[in-house]
Amino acid sequence: MASKTDLTAVNTIRALAVDTVGKANSGHPGAPMGMAPVAHILWSRHLNYSSKNSKWFNRDRFVLSNGHACALQYVMLHLAGYKVSMDDLKSFRQVDSITPGHPEVGVTDGIEVTTGPLGQGISNAVGLAIAQAHMGAVFNKEGFPLVTNHTYAFMGDGCLQEGVSGEACSLAGHLKLSNLIAIYDDNKITIDGDTAVSFTENVEQRYKSYGWNVLHVENGDDDFEAIDAAITEAKKNTNGPTMINLKTKIGYGSLKAGSHDVHGAPLKKDDIAQMKTKFGFNPEETFAVPQEVTDLYAKIGDKGAKAEAEWNELFNKYKQEYPKEAAELERRIEGRLPDGWEKALPVYKIDDPAIASRKLSETVITKIVEVLPEVVVGSADLTGSNLTRWKTAEDFQHPSTGLGSYQGRYFRYGVREHAMEAICNGLAAYGGIIPLCSTFLNFVSYAAGAVRLSALSHLRVITVATHDSIGLGEDGPTHQPVETAAWLRALPNLAFWRPADGNETSAAYLTSILSPHTPSVLALSRQNLPQLENSSIEKATKGGYVVHESENADVTLVSTGSEVGLCVEAAQQLKSKGITSRVVSIPSFEVFGAQDRDYKLSVLPSGHPILSVEAYSTFGWGQLSHDHFGLKAWGASGPYAKVYEKYELTPAGIAKRAEKVVAFYKKRGQPLFSPLISALDDISE
């Protein structure tokens, strides 16, 4: 039953959120004010959490998909007893505070995923729910309900309009994720005003079409019991995910309630005063928490700590009855990789056959899934092209489909690249899972919103991106990436790998898996690539190494992936013309950039010109080479060898340009410095 304390708590939340935004003179007060009731009911009666241990594994996961409402989330975390102090609330939106303008995982205690960009949070939530279902299916035993948490997401009109959320929710319905509960803040207001201007679809009907359960709360402002009842009912549903359509008034309590003015600008002083007065608070006071509210949440905190303690006991019993499983679960929760797993990675010799790197990748995956049970893999409906599914794989499916089970580790994402990446962010954020996903490199761009957040959030998501260039041939320029490598290389904290042979492919996987805070994208070829002289997993893990060394070289050819082998041939042609060349492979700019000075200069030294060769735009090669040979614009549709010929990306075409480069700098007649050396970068002399 809703009590007076509930109302006081709800109004406390509203006032704190308004003060938080007001102090910063920036932020979004409206949704926090409208969602204060559901936040209070959820957190005080349903959400299973232990605020002193935000990493308790079986905690319910909470995602604020409408991340601009984060003043609400920070207030809840504060009240609930997480490491979010009143001073943190007062530093909202200030440089170096732990309460940034949109919620960021890793920055603030209790934040599960980074949100703000609309549609992402609910899609992450689908991933978190999948993770729970999977880990539960793998580890739970009769009498040991260890992994049983719910995943709750708040979302607004904005999230619902974004395509990524539709993709993710369609898949969530197909997978019948019954522990996923999304609460839709239906306030009919967006930045442009009433949703009537652009968003008039029947949301409930759409979610039913996805196979979701839809519940209603007509008065999300005042009817706390209805909110409670809806969540209670949602938790009981075993037939798939549930959406609670919650009608609220944005900015409830403000003079501007119900208008878009209250969405994204701080309330005016007189408005705040009248609101506080109306709520029975002192209009002169800011950041006030009545004792009864403090006490209420303290009690809930104790309850949570007790729940965690009970879980720990349960786990201890589990350890005794299922020691192997317990050790595995512990290992995976802590993110420790099994000793010696990397021995599974294939090693190649120069006389091994030429193999397409997408095929090399298939071999790696087939081997590592045996030694790393935390690895799950999926494809956006390109399984047979990405070569990501191993023969003995079981699909992750609801058992009622007859197509798999929740123990399954292979994911059929459907033609939903953006949701795939956002879901993988959720999988990675949950704990205990290393998600691999796959599509064509060109269509990783469809997921740019989510990929960016993988990097910002420091999540280890590994994207297997095949058909990586004009090498895909006939599908043509609509499918052939040109600009994609530049985008991914410019993105901070993302390792873009373009391995050139078997050892490099193994190295890409090795480094990606050993990088728990960095996402990786592996660009893989459709065409066969020869094994390279001097390549080894060890060398390739440096992100760059010398494939072919020469003393007194006239030129260095630096390349990646499928073009390295062409450079090796070009070097032979140049030799017959009296030009001595070195050949260097840089499978990852990011990883190479992290090596020490001496090593990098040994790979790309001063003294002679360096020419880059890559079947992409040359944009960005200036950091590693003096001259650049690549695509001037788009690819073309045709058999791939003919496309390479069209653009002269052949050994002869490379050799021709290398000769020109050598002559040019000889004519200039002055010492040539490695592009790695510059005034401001880390190698300055």
Q: Which residues does the annotation mark as catalytic? A: 417
CB-wise, 1 or 680, nearer to a copy of itself?
A: 680
Distance in Å, CB of 142 to a copy of itself, minimum: 30
Q: How far apart are CA 394 and CA 405, in angstroms?
A: 7
Q: Is 432 annotated as a binding residue?
A: no
For residue 314, the one-letter residue type is: L
**Smallest separation, CB 94 to a copy of itself (Å):** 5
Q: At what angle do helices 291-321 and 323-334 cross, to 10 degrees?
A: 130
Q: Among residues 32 and 502, whose Cβ is nearest to a copy of itself? A: 32
Shortest distance (Å) from residue 460 CB to a copy of itself: 17
The DSSP 8-state label assigned to residue 141 in this structure reads B
Structure tokens that stand for 387 in this block: 């070569």
Q: Which is nearer to a copy of itself, 25 or 312 (CB)?
A: 25
Which residues share a beta bridge with 356?
528
Nearest to 71 by CA among 51, 91, 41: 91
Give the separation between CA 17 and CA 20, rounded to whole angstroms: 5
The whole-angstrom separation of Cα 487 and Cα 494 is: 10
Whole-angstrom distance, CA of residue 676 vs CA of residue 490 = 17
Structure token digits, residue 252: 């409830």
Residue 248 CA to residue 303 CA, distance in Å, equals: 29
- Rounded to whole angstroms, how far apart are CA atoms 637 and 473? 6
Rg value, the chain, Cα: 28
Structure tokens at 245: 């359509």
668 is in an annotated binding site: no
Nearer to a copy of itself, 237 or 294 (CB): 237
Name the minimum Å distance from CB 205 to a copy of itself: 4
196 CB-contact burial (10 Å; exposed 0-12 / middle 13-18 / buried 19+) = exposed
Distance CA 518, CA 539 (A): 20
Strand pairing class (434-440; 495-497): unpaired
Reference 562, options 471, 669, 679, 680; nearest CA is 471
Distant-in-sequence, close-in-space partners of 685: CB < 8 Å, separation ≥ 6: 677
Measured between alpha carbons, how far is 500 from 505 in angstroms, rounded to an integer? Answer: 7
68 is in an annotated binding site: yes
Nearest approach, Cβ of 50 to a copy of itself (angstroms)?
Answer: 27
Query: Is 526 among the annotated ligand-binding positions?
Result: yes
Do 174 and 168 contact (CB within 8 A), yes or no? Answer: no
Q: Is 223 annotated as a binding residue?
A: no
CB of 155: closest distance to a copy of itself in angstroms? 11
Phi, psi of 124 (to 5 degrees): -60, -40
Nearer to a copy of itself, 251 or 301 (CB): 251
CB of 311 to a copy of itself, least distance (A): 32
Closer of 82 and 440 to a copy of itself (Cβ): 440
Alpha-carbon distance of 565 to 507, in angstroms, equals 18
Cβ contacts of 278 within 8 Å, gap of 6 or more: 253
DSSP secondary structure code for residue 144 in this structure: B
CB of 389 to a copy of itself, least distance (A): 9
Looking at the Cβ atoms of 299 and 660, the one nearer to a copy of itself is: 660
Identify residue 554 by its one-letter amino acid code.
D
475 in a known ligand binding site: yes
Q: Give the separation between CA 615 and CA 175, rounded to whole angstroms.
A: 39
**Among residues 55 and 668, whose Cβ is nearest to a copy of itself?**
668
| SS3 per-residue string spanning 593-641 | HCCCHHHHHHHCCCCCCEEEECCCCCCCHHHCCCEEECCCCCCCCCCHH
Q: How far is the CB of 420 from a copy of itself (least distance, A)?
A: 10
- What is the SS3 string spanning 68-111? HHHHHHHHHHHHHCCCCCHHHHHCCCCCCCCCCCCCCCCCCCCC
The DSSP 8-state label assigned to residue 554 in this structure reads S
134 is in an annotated binding site: no
Which of 6/614 has CB closer to a copy of itself? 614
Annotated binding-site residue? 189:
yes
CA distance 647 to 649: 5
Minimum distance of a copy of itself from residue 452's CB (angstroms): 7
Which helix (H) or strand (E) covers residue 333, if one does? helix 323-334
Closer CB to a copy of itself, 119 or 544, in the complex: 119
Residue stretches of the annotated binding site: 28, 68, 116-118, 157-158, 187, 189, 263, 358, 385, 443, 467, 475, 479, 526
Residue stretches of the annotated binding site for Mg(2+): 157, 187, 189
